[in-house]
Amino acid sequence: MSSAFFEIAGHKISPDHYINGQRVAAAESFELFCPIDQRLLGRVAEGSANHVDAAIRAAERAFPTWAALTAAERKLYLDRFAEEIGKRADAFSAVESNDAGVLLSRMRHGVVPRAMLNITWFAQHALDLQTRPIDTEQARHIVKHDPAGVAVIITPWNSPLMLSTWKLGPALAAGNTCILKPPEWAPLTCSLLADAAHAAALPAGVFNVVQGTGANTGAKLVSDPRVARVSFTGSVPTAKRIAQAAGANLVPCSLELGGKSPFIVLADADIDNAAATAALMYRNAGQVCLAGTRLLVDEKIVDAFITTMRRYVENLVIGDPRDEATEIGPIIHPRQVERVTGFVERAVSAGARVLWGGAMHPFGAQYYRPTLLTDVKQGDEIVQTEVFGPVLTLQTFTSDEEAIELANGTDYGLGGVCYGETTHATAVAEQVRTGFIWVNSFGIRDLAAPFGGIKRSGIGREGGDWSFEFFCDVKDVVVPKKPFRASFAQQ
């Protein structure tokens, strides 16, 4: 056990793992740097094979007792967990802002309340899934959602707190025990989650945090045959490796893999509203899987749209995410900066034209200007591949059919946006092949609704019943309504 910690904005964070209700130090560690100003935040424990084994054994031991609790009993624990997150709202906000470069104001007013809701909402929803009878003429079918076992949860660096709780909520509420593998570029709010879980008196082994790199710690977790479920949000290449490792043990995986979503602006759209929403695609320095990064605009209104959107983009405040006035902060890591700049440079070399941006911002080493590229072709890398930075492309169309063809013309299918007269925009949106699409809006979410993508954007759905379908073994208890006698004729 270790008592080591380091401090961010007056808040103490443990760099150690959290296994079986205790902090566990490691011989190996890795450095963690702040994306705002590149200062060293500290060193974080690297999970070894022994740490992975200890966490899985702890989760296995805790599973029978946790699974045997009623949904109402688990809800008492989870409600306290959410309360402890709320008590630490300032710490979660300050730490994730420094760790991941996200806006401090967004953490305070959006992410922390949502993280609490992720826990309490799914705890309540589990009560509704205890029994769901299906009555037929022959029998009564009692559909039960039994917990699967040990769940491994792997979250990305762009929103670690929100996405961790988004998965932990249903997994724990269903009766699974969990091992959370935080993102190596932004692991610290996951460490704070362990503190909140400990203060809420979650039984030892129910919730564990093992830090480390994906290639080392993550690979060991997902390939272990004792694991019953793997839930991952991240990149397509990593997802393929996870699916291959888990598949060897026939372990189900839920994979949310980002996208290259279309943002369609029809000729009858409210141009000002559409342009203002399009500027939102640069939030979190473009590091948002939901962003509509491919602007598809009707040729008849494209000039007016560009003029209007430029005005909104020029007013965006780029700077320190801890400043309340800031609207766009830094890119998470130097390697991600290289990725973004490489995409833009190759696109320009291939003939793309920069309408604005296209270069680093003078505020700091990891700040990139909001960028819009036009004169791109459908087959270009910049159109087909997720950049995950503040870079959008612009293409035009002359008919609904062409807009739909362009929208569907990538290997991704996570989300989308469609602006236009409501009936018209809805009709177009229904023909776009994505997991979800917003009409004349963006970012409206409800925990009861399904979330996930198609094609290379992932496998499975999260939210509402869909989360429980994944984290549970669904069982049908069949009770006949009439006396049953075995007969070969009946079979």
Same domain, 130 and 184: yes
pTM score, whole prediction: 0.95
The predicted model gives 379-390 an average pLDDT of 98
Contact indicator for 366, 337 with CB cutoff of 8 Å: yes
The amino acid occupying position 454 is I
pLDDT digits 0-9 by tens, 201-242: 999 999 999 999 999 999 999 999 999 999 999 999 999 999
The predicted model gives 476-491 an average pLDDT of 82
pLDDT digits 0-9 by tens, 296-328: 999 999 999 999 999 999 999 999 999 999 999
The predicted model gives 378-389 an average pLDDT of 98
User: Residue 320: its pLDDT value, please?
Assistant: 98
Tokens of 239: 């997802």
For residues 68 and 448, what is the distance between their CA atoms, to the nearest angstrom? 25
pLDDT category of residue 491 using cuts at 50, 70 and 90:
low
Q: For residue 204, with 0-12 CB atoms within 10 Å meaning exposed, 13-18 middle and 19 or more buried, which class applies?
A: middle
Percent of the chain residues past pLDDT 90, beyond the cut? 94
Same domain, 322 and 188: no
- Residue 51 located in a structural domain: yes
User: Residue 405: its pLDDT value, please?
Assistant: 98
User: Residue 121: its pLDDT value, please?
Assistant: 98
User: Residue 1: its pLDDT value, please?
Assistant: 43
- Residue 69 located in a structural domain: yes
Reply yes or no on whether the pLDDT at 484 is more than 90. Answer: no
Q: Which residue has the tokens 């929403």?
A: 277
pLDDT category of residue 6 using cuts at 50, 70 and 90:
confident
Contact indicator for 464, 447 with CB cutoff of 8 Å: yes
Same domain, 186 and 317: no
Distances, alpha carbon 77 to alpha carbons 85, 87, 200, in Å: 13, 15, 7
CA 203 to chain centre: 26
Same domain, 205 and 337: no
The predicted model gives 24-51 an average pLDDT of 96
- Residue 386 located in a structural domain: yes
The predicted model gives 340-348 an average pLDDT of 98
- Residue 485 located in a structural domain: no
3-state secondary structure at position 363: coil
Same domain, 253 and 272: no
Reply yes or no on whether the pLDDT at 23 is more than 50. Answer: yes
Same domain, 281 and 173: no
- Residue 271 located in a structural domain: yes
pLDDT category of residue 174 using cuts at 50, 70 and 90:
very high
Same domain, 313 and 237: no
Same domain, 174 and 203: yes
Same domain, 118 and 231: yes
pLDDT category of residue 260 using cuts at 50, 70 and 90:
very high
- Residue 320 located in a structural domain: yes
Could you tell me which residues come within 8 angstroms of residue 227 by beta carbon, excluding any fewer than 6 positions away?
Answer: 56, 149, 150, 151, 152, 179, 221, 246, 249, 251
Reply yes or no on whether the pLDDT at 352 is more than 70. Answer: yes
DSSP strand pairing (262-265 vs 417-419): parallel
Q: Which domain holds residue 323?
A: 262-439
Reply yes or no on whether the pLDDT at 103 is more than 90. Answer: yes
The predicted model gives 69-90 an average pLDDT of 98
Could you tell me which residues come within 8 angstroms of residue 261 by beta carbon, excluding any fewer than 6 positions away?
Answer: 290, 291, 292, 293, 294, 412, 414, 415, 416, 417, 434
The predicted model gives 445-463 an average pLDDT of 96
Same domain, 126 and 70: yes
Domain CATH code at residue 290: 3.40.309.10
Percent of the chain residues past pLDDT 70, beyond the cut? 99
For residues 457 and 462, what is the distance between their CA atoms, to the nearest angstrom? 13
Domain CATH code at residue 217: 3.40.605.10
Positions marked catalytic: 256, 289
- End-of-domain residue from the set 392, 413, 439: 439
Reply yes or no on whether the pLDDT at 3 is more than 70. Answer: no
User: Residue 105: its pLDDT value, please?
Assistant: 96
Domain count, the chain: 2
Contact indicator for 239, 214 with CB cutoff of 8 Å: no
User: Residue 132: its pLDDT value, please?
Assistant: 72
Contact indicator for 205, 58 with CB cutoff of 8 Å: yes
Same domain, 215 and 102: yes
- Average pLDDT of the chain, as a whole number: 96
Same domain, 130 and 193: yes
- Residue 126 located in a structural domain: yes
- Residue 481 located in a structural domain: no
